[in-house]
C-alpha cells in the first residue's frame, strides 16, 4: 500500500476494514445457520418494520454492516429513541455542511421536505443542510492519492465501494450544482459515475451525474438489470458488485 496516504485515511484503514467486514459476514453466516434463530430474527424485524419501531443499536450496527458501511471507521451517530442514524456531510474542502438522517425502521423513503408538524420523522431519509445544500457530499475520508474516484447518488451506494477498497463520494442526489462541479474539478481526479438504474440516474439533464462526469473527462456506467442501484446490487450479490467495479477499472 502506498505510504503517501491522504490525511483523511489512517494507515492500514482499507486492510482493517476488509478484515472487519469479512469477520462480520462470517459471524452472520454462523448465526443464520440456526433455523430457530433465523425465524426469531425474522419475526422480530418484521414486527419492528410493520409497526415502524426503532431498532436497537446492535440491530442497527448489523444492518449498516450488511449495507457495506464500515461502522468502526465511519463517523456516524445513532439516536435509539427515535431510531435515527446521523451521517456527517462535507464539502470537498473538508467543511462540515450538513447531516443526513436515516431511519432504517421506516419503509417509506419520502422526500427532503420536513413539511409541517412531525411528519418528517416518518421519512426514511432526510437531509439537513443549513448552509449550501448543493455542495454536500459524503465519503471524503476515502479520497487519497489514487487518480480515480467513484461518484454515486447515495451513501449506501458509496459505502460498499469504499468497503471494496476504492475511493467513492456520495452526492446525496442525482444533481450536481455548478459550484460543486467546479470544486470536484479542482481535486483533479478521474471520475467514474455509478448511475442508478432509473430516470434520475439515466436522465440527460446537464446537472445530472452522467453529464457532469462527461464534462470532467470521466466515464459513467449504470448498474445492470435487475438492480435499481449499486447498494441493492451489493446487498443481493456482493461478488457481482465487486466484479462490476473491477470491469470498469479495467477500462481506464
Q: Is 148 exposed, middle or buried (0-12, 13-18, 19+ CB in 10 A)?
A: middle
Give the pLDDT mean for 163-182. Answer: 93
> Is 90 exceeded by the pLDDT of residue 106?
no
> Is 50 exceeded by the pLDDT of residue 2?
no
> Is 90 exceeded by the pLDDT of residue 26?
no
Interacting residues of 65 by C-beta distance below 8 A, sequence separation 6+: 21, 24, 25, 71
When the candidates are 1.10.10.10, 3.40.1360.10, 2.30.42.10, 3.40.50.300, the CATH number that belongs to 135-249 is: 3.40.1360.10
> Is 90 exceeded by the pLDDT of residue 62?
yes
Question: How does pLDDT run across 184-197, given as a tens digit for each residue?
Answer: 999 999 999 999 98
Give the pLDDT mean for 70-78. Answer: 93
More confident residue, 25 or 126: 126
> Is 50 exceeded by the pLDDT of residue 5?
no
Average pLDDT, the chain: 81
Question: How does pLDDT run across 123-168, given as a tens digit for each residue?
Answer: 899 888 765 556 899 999 999 999 999 999 999 999 999 999 999 9
Residue 223 is predicted with a pLDDT of 96
Residue 135 is predicted with a pLDDT of 82
Counting other chains too, the contacts that 42-50 makes at CB distance below 8 Å and 24 or more residues apart are: 48/105, 49/105, 49/107
Greatest mean pLDDT among 133-142, 193-202, 220-229 lies in: 220-229
> Is 70 exceeded by the pLDDT of residue 38?
no
Residue 27 is predicted with a pLDDT of 59
Amino acid at each position: 500500500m502506498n505510504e503517501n496516504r491522504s490525511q483523511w485515511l489512517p494507515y492500514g484503514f482499507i486492510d482493517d476494514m476488509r478484515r472487519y467486514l469479512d469477520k462480520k459476514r462470517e459471524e452472520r453466516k454462523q448465526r443464520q445457520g440456526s433455523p430457530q434463530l433465523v425465524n426469531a430474527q425474522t419475526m422480530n424485524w418484521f414486527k419492528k418494520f410493520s409497526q415502524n419501531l426503532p431498532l436497537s443499536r446492535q440491530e442497527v450496527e448489523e444492518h449498516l454492516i450488511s449495507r457495506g458501511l464500515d461502522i468502526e471507521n465511519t463517523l456516524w451517530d445513532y439516536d435509539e429513541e427515535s431510531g435515527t442514524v446521523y451521517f456527517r456531510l462535507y464539502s470537498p474542502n473538508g467543511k462540515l455542511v450538513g447531516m443526513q438522517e436515516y431511519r432504517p425502521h421506516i419503509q417509506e423513503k419520502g422526500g427532503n421536505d420536513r413539511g409541517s408538524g412531525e411528519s418528517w420523522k416518518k421519512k426514511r431519509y432526510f437531509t439537513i443542510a443549513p448552509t449550501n445544500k448543493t455542495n454536500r457530499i459524503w465519503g471524503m475520508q476515502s479520497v487519497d492519492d489514487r487518480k480515480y474516484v467513484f461518484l454515486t447518488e447515495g451513501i449506501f451506494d458509496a459505502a460498499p465501494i469504499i468497503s471494496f477498497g476504492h475511493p467513492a463520494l456520495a452526492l446525496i442526489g442525482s444533481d450536481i450544482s455548478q459550484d460543486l462541479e467546479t470544486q470536484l474539478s479542482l481535486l483533479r481526479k478521474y471520475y467514474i459515475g455509478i448511475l442508478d438504474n432509473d430516470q434520475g440516474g439515466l436522465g440527460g439533464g446537464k446537472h445530472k451525474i452522467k453529464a457532469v462526469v462527461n464534462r470532467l473527462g470521466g466515464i459513467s456506467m449504470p448498474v445492470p438489470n435487475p438492480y435499481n442501484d449499486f447498494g441493492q446490487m451489493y446487498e443481493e450479490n456482493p461478488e457481482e458488485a465487486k466484479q462490476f467495479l473491477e470491469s470498469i477499472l479495467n477500462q481506464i
